[in-house]
Amino acid sequence: MKKPMTTQRKKRILKDKLDRLTQQIFVPKNPRCLVCGEPTSEGHHFIQKTQSMYLRWNEKNLIPLCRACHMRHHFSGDPMVVAKIVQELGQTWFMWIQENRNNPFNDNLTNLRELYNELQKQRMLEC
Give domain status of residue 118, yes or no.
Answer: no
Task: Indicate whether 93 belongs to any domain.
Answer: yes
Asked, for residue 39, whether it belongs to a domain, the answer is yes
CA dihedral sign of residues 65, 46, 73, 85: positive
CA angle (87, 90, 95) in 5-degree steps: 125
Question: Does a structural domain hold residue 1?
Answer: no
pLDDT at 74: 87
Q: Which domain holds residue 70?
A: 7-105
Neighbouring CB atoms inside 10 A of 108's CB total 11
- Euclidean distance between CA atoms 29 and 37, whole angstroms: 14
> What confidence tens digit (pLDDT) does each residue in 54-100 have?
999 999 999 999 999 999 988 888 889 999 999 999 999 999 999 99
Structure confidence at residue 125 (pLDDT):
87
Residue 121 counted as domain residue: no
pLDDT value of position 32: 98
DSSP letters of 57-126? T-GGGEEEE-HHHHHIIIII--HHHHHHHHHHHHHHHHHHHHHHTT------HHHHHHHHHHHHHHHHHH
Residue 73 forms part of a structural domain: yes
What count of residues does the chain have?
Answer: 127
Q: How far apart are CA 79 and CA 73, in angstroms?
A: 8
Q: What is the number of structural domains in the chain?
A: 1
